[in-house]
Amino acid sequence: MIEVKETPIEELLDRVISNLPSNKKYQLVSITKKIKEVNTLHFFEGAKALNKDRIFWTSTAEQYDVVGIGNAYEIHAKENRFEITENKWNELLANAKIFNPYQVAGTGVVALGGMAFDPKKEQTHLWEKFSPSQFTIPAFILTKNNNNYYFTINTYVTKDDHPRQLATEIEHQESLLFRNMEQPSDHLTINEKIEVKPDKWRETVRQAREAIRTNKAEKIVLAREMRLKFNKEANIASILQKLIDKHANSYIFAFEKGEDCFVGATPERLVKLNGEQLLSTCLAGTAPRGKTKEEDLKISQDLLKDEKNRQEHEFVVKMIKGALETYSTEIEIPNEPIVYPLKNLQHLYTPVTAILKDGYSIFDIVKQLHPTPALGGTPNKESMAFIRDHELLDRGWYGAPVGWLDSNQNSEFAVAIRSGLIQGNEASLFAGGGIVKDSNLEEEYEETTIKFKPMLSVLGD
């Protein structure tokens, strides 16, 4: 299965352990090698036999998958989470020994994780396993990049470690991972579907609309929750397979923390960074897909002309442009949006490209972009205050940045919408809508109902 053309693991470990400075108790070692083709989802499914947390990330529009198994190191932050996370990440890289001859995205030291939508909102029991900012450097990483496959091992070594013994232990776990690969299979059905406080949500929408009409905000995004109960414990790999099959042009993700797993298929890129090349996305304004080509075309044309949706979209375009101006140059934004079709929905879409200035990082950009007007509202301070005081749920990681960054100066973050928190044989799904001064309560309710469908469609609905 594995093509080993690189320096043997034992030799690399021996080199690091022998040269470990006397003032260092331990050191992170990262070793990447190229391997033969592997089905990343089968690898993810088989890895559950090791009883370690798993992470899955794929961009279905590109040939890019990352699967993380276990935990070599974890970065947590509560206060000043962007600055603290960046500082800990930089410190980690500065002290790591990285053996990676390939330098492609998603290899070497890779951190995958996310953040809470609003760390000032009191955390509920629902999200107790997910920190306000939590990034994992997995012990094992399988990466698919442009139909090439790589396997990375991340481990800490000490002066007392024996290279051969440590290498044997690592290779044993590696062999188990590749030997246990399984095709996911599941026949999940929804036994119970409960919309959480729908009437109170409508009342909150009315309150938000009134606040906007009295000039307390221009737009406020309000989310609601749906609670599901299944016939048995959900199989995460099976859910991921269905999401991949049904949702082209999306980021499919899963972050597993013990028995809980945050899963989704989001079309909304927050930012992608390749060296200094920056790409962001304005995705706001939503309509359903038509049942025929003619109906679909008419809906898309109506979406382009719809004043409410165009206003929503323009909020996001202006915010992203303003957020990038301090940190980048050569910002390019098309004058008009296009329609971005998905399986169940279509959105207004505008790409934004720029060049990141020296001295700034992906964390500077994420901090400026989150929350976008598509998930929070505008102005940011006023809309977030209303959400914090009035919204009926703890969003947790819903609507927040999730993604990855690597030691090769690559990173990508998406906005975690079209998502749910799976907890054994139960789940919470989340969907939101942008409220403006002319919003109709029932239309907003129906829009959120449509936004539940991407997850419902893979969970047995």
pLDDT band with cut points at 50, 70 and 90 for residue 3: very low
Identity of the residue numbered 275: G
Specify the residue for token string 């007007």: 373
Residue 447 marked in a binding site: yes
Higher pLDDT, 327 or 187: 327
Residue 103: left if φ>0, alpha if ψ -120 to 50, beta else—which one? left
The residues that bridge with 210 in the sheet, in sequence order, are: none
Give the percent of the chain with pLDDT over 70.
99
Weakest-pLDDT range from 99-108, 246-255, 292-301, 336-345: 336-345
pLDDT (0 to 100) of residue 453: 92
Higher pLDDT, 5 or 322: 322
Identity of the residue numbered 394: D
Q: Is 174 a catalytic residue?
A: no
57-115 residue pLDDT tens: 999 888 899 999 999 999 999 889 999 999 999 999 999 999 999 999 999 999 999 99
355-410 residue pLDDT tens: 999 999 999 999 999 998 889 999 999 999 999 999 999 999 999 999 999 999 99
- For residue 326, the number of C-alpha atoms closer than 13 Å in the C-beta half-sphere is 11
Q: 251 and 404 in contact (C-beta within 8 Å)?
A: no
Q: Which of 45, 225, 256, 268 is catalytic?
A: 268
Alpha helices per DSSP H over 115-233:
163-179, 198-213
Q: Is the pLDDT at 181 greater than 90, yes or no?
A: no
- For residue 184, the number of C-alpha atoms closer than 13 Å in the C-beta half-sphere is 23
Tokens coding 165 = 């013994």
19-43 residue pLDDT tens: 998 888 899 999 999 999 999 999 9
203-252 residue pLDDT tens: 999 999 999 999 999 999 999 999 999 999 999 999 999 999 998 889 99
Q: Report the interhelical angle of 307-325 vs 362-369 (nearest 10°).
A: 150
Q: Is the pLDDT at 4 greater than 50, yes or no?
A: no
pLDDT (0 to 100) of residue 5: 53
pLDDT band with cut points at 50, 70 and 90 for residue 285: confident
What pTM was estimated for this model as a whole? 0.92
- For residue 153, the number of C-alpha atoms closer than 13 Å in the C-beta half-sphere is 24
Q: Which helix (H) or strand (E) holds 15?
A: helix 9-18
Three-class SS state of 223: strand
Q: 171 and 155 in contact (C-beta within 8 Å)?
A: no
Architecture of domain 190-456: 4-Layer Sandwich (3.60)
Q: Is 3 a catalytic residue?
A: no
Give the percent of the chain with pLDDT over 90.
82
Kindly report the length of the chain: 461
Q: 387 and 105 in contact (C-beta within 8 Å)?
A: no
DSSP letters for 164-197: HHHHHHHHHHHHHHHHT---------EEEEEESS
307-318 residue pLDDT tens: 888 988 888 888
Residue 446 marked in a binding site: no
Give me the phi and psi of 444, to 5 degrees please. -65, -40
CA distances for 123 relative to 131, 383, 395, 420, 460, angstroms:
9, 19, 9, 17, 29
134-165 residue pLDDT tens: 999 999 999 999 999 999 999 999 999 999 99
Q: Which of 219, 257, 272, 343 is catalytic?
A: 219
Where exactly are the structural domains of the chain? 9-179, 190-456
Q: Is the pLDDT at 461 greater than 70, yes or no?
A: no
d(CA 186, CA 338): 37
Three-class SS state of 299: helix
